[in-house]
Every structure is written in C-alpha cells, then in structure tokens.
Amino acid sequence: MLLLAALGTDTRIWDGVAARLAGGTALLRIEHPGHGGAPTEDARSVAQLAARVLRTLDDAGIASAHVAGVSLGAAVALALAADHPGRVRSLTLAHTALRFGDPALWDRRIETARRDGLAPLVEGTLARWLTPGEATADPGRADGLRAMFIATDREAYARCCEAVRDFDGEALPARVRAPTLLVAGDADLATPPAQMLALQQALPRAQLLRLPGAHLGLLAAPGAVAGALQALIDEGDHLWTTT
C-alpha cells in the first residue's frame, strides 16, 4: 500500500490507520517534496507530483499498489489512477476535491509562505485540520501537527500550493477503474462533504465513508478508516487476480 499525505503534513498522519491494517500489508510512504524530510524538488503541479510517485514505484520495482492519499495526496493518487490504471489496485481518497477553492486564497498563502515562512499560517491551518473539540481533547495531536507543518520547507510548500491552486480534476474520475473509498469529514470546511459526494457521483466504483471530523478527520477515527480500507484492499486484490 502506497501512502500519500496532505499539504503541510507527512505520512505519519496515516500511522493510526496503518497500525490497524492486516499484518501482511506492506507499506510504502512517499512524502511530497520538502515534506517529512524529503528533498525539495521543482514540482509545481499535481501531474508532476504524480509522475514523481510513478518514478518511485518504478525504481522500487513495484508493478501495482493500493494507493491512499489525503487532500493534495489524494489528488495525486487520483491523477495516478486515471493516467496509469494498470498500476493501481484500489484507490482511497480522503478529504479532497476535484478543485480546491479560490485561486486568490492560494496566491495569498503562497506569498506569505515565501515572504514570511510558515509560522504565520500555522494556526489558521490547524483550525481547518481539526475541530475545536478535537484540538481540545487531544492537545498532543495539535502540537504534533503544528511541528509537522512548521518543519515543512517553505519553498516546497509554496510550490505544492501552486499545484493545489491549479488542480482541475474534473476529467479524471471517468478514467479511474480501481475500486475506490472516499473519506469525508462532516465538519471539513476545506473540502466539504458536498464536494466528496460530487466526487462519489463522478467515480464509477466509489463508496463514501463520512466521519464527524474536519479536514484531517481520519486522525480521530483510524479504526473506522482502517476497517473500510482493509475491505477495499481485499476487494482490489480479488479483482486484480481474477481479471
């Protein structure tokens, strides 16, 4: 299983889910450029990020994988599944959209990151990632996410923001063949449930899991996500071996 993270995070956001998957599931974690200690690269589009993931699979000799992503990582996963359907056994898209909001908002975020670094953006970002109740109930989670965000390279973050700003995934779902799990947060203001429902309607073989969380709602319900994801893995492997 290939794991991809959200903008400003690293693949540790999948730890709670990964720990609950069947023991035989091998995990490959690919960090976005400048995230989670990965080198900064000049990747400024979702297509370039997906090509980078494909090269990593090729270099590792991996012919096919179950692919799971969050937010930006889910957009990259969707592009990979659409353009290279023979490489994706199943697809999990958490807290994402076919378009990510007002480009002007992203322009302001990019300008701030390049001029002032990520510190001015951290609290607003955390408010989108976690509900107030989640942040209060588990201060350690908020502190860990804050540190994760601040550790991200500012230029890499800005370039990934460019990728999010310019992403238009409207044509991608029709080319996806893999069974798909969508994970939505009922309190997600960044990628609201209505966007996830639209994505479900656009994907030919998608099921939707709704959680009572915000943009990183999978952190609060790793058991529910792992259960749905394990069923999807089993379905994808069955289809892969019988077609």
Selection from 202, 191, 215 nearest residue 169 by Cα: 202
Query: Which domain range does residue 29 map to?
Result: 2-242
Over residues 167-195, the pLDDT tens digits come to 999 999 999 999 999 999 999 999 999 99
**Confidence check: pLDDT of 243 > 60:** no
Mean pLDDT rounded to a whole number for the chain: 95
Q: Report the percentage of the chain scoring pLDDT > 70.
A: 98
| pLDDT tens-digit series, residues 143-173 | 999 999 999 999 999 999 999 999 999 999 9
As a whole number of angstroms, the distance between CA 6 and CA 9 comes to: 5
d(CA 4, CA 189): 21
In this predicted model, what pLDDT tens digit does every residue of 105-148 receive, in sequence order? 999 999 999 999 999 999 999 999 999 998 888 899 999 999 99
Residue with the larger pLDDT of the pair 109 and 236: 109
For residue 204, CA distances in Å to 64, 127, 176, 185, 228 come to: 20, 33, 8, 21, 18
Q: Is the pLDDT of residue 241 over 70?
A: no
pLDDT band of residue 240 (cuts 50, 70, 90) is low
pLDDT for 160: 98
pLDDT digit string (tens) for 51-93?
Answer: 999 999 999 999 999 999 999 999 999 999 999 999 999 999 9
The CATH number of the domain holding residue 126 is 3.40.50.1820
Total length of the chain? 243
Could you give the number of structural domains in the chain?
1
Q: What are the tokens at 209?
A: 């899991």
Q: Give the span between the Cα atoms of 178 and 187, in whole angstroms.
A: 28
- So what's the pLDDT on residue 236? 73
CA dist 234 and 103 (Å) reads: 39
Cβ pair 184, 215 in contact under 8 A: no
Please give the pLDDT value at position 212. 93
Q: Is 19 helix (H, G, I), strand (E, B) or coil?
A: coil
